[in-house]
Every structure is written in structure tokens, then in C-alpha cells.
Amino acid sequence: MALDLDVSQPSISRWVNGHGMIPAELVLVCERIYGVSRHDLRPDIYPADAPAAPPAWRGVDQGTERVSFNRNSGLQGQAA
């Protein structure tokens, strides 16, 4: 698992033993690789009873619209 996620083995041990949580940026990777639901991995950021996302913003993990901040031109909406 440590090799798959490019993290140290002690990090994995901490997560498994409840002394830390898997980082948010790795939750979706673990879900894809191991088939464990994002809710089971991090219920604090992926609650089971979460309402459906509004159509205007479906979230980064679904690969939809993004907003970026460009120093020269301010806020810009960009399609993924």
C-alpha cells in the first residue's frame, strides 16, 4: 500500500492504528485502487448522507469545471 500511494510505511501504520487519517488527496486514489468507499475512508469529508452536489459545481473529484486564480488576469472560470 505504501508503494502504491508513494508514502512511508509508518504513515500507513498510523492510519491503520487510528493515530492519523489518510490525507484527503489520497482518498479517491485508495477508493479506485482498493475498492474501499470514500465514506469509509474519510466520513468527515465524505458523509454518507451528503446531499447531491448542485449542478453548477460538481466537485474536483468528478473532473468537472474548475476555477483558477491567475496572477495577471484575476479570477477565471475554466472547463476541465
8-59 residue pLDDT tens:
999 999 998 989 899 999 999 999 999 999 999 999 998 877 665 555 555 5
Task: Note the pTM of the prediction, 2 decimals.
Answer: 0.56
Does residue 7 belong to any structural domain of this protein?
yes
Burial of 39 (0-12, 13-18, 19+ CB in 10 A): middle
Does residue 56 belong to any structural domain of this protein?
no
Does residue 73 belong to any structural domain of this protein?
no
- In this prediction, residue 4 has a pLDDT band, given cuts at 50, 70 and 90, of very high
Does residue 76 belong to any structural domain of this protein?
no
Does residue 44 belong to any structural domain of this protein?
yes
Q: Tell me what pLDDT residue 80 has.
A: 46
Does residue 65 belong to any structural domain of this protein?
no
Show the domain range for 4: 1-48
What is the domain count for the chain?
A: 1
Does residue 34 belong to any structural domain of this protein?
yes
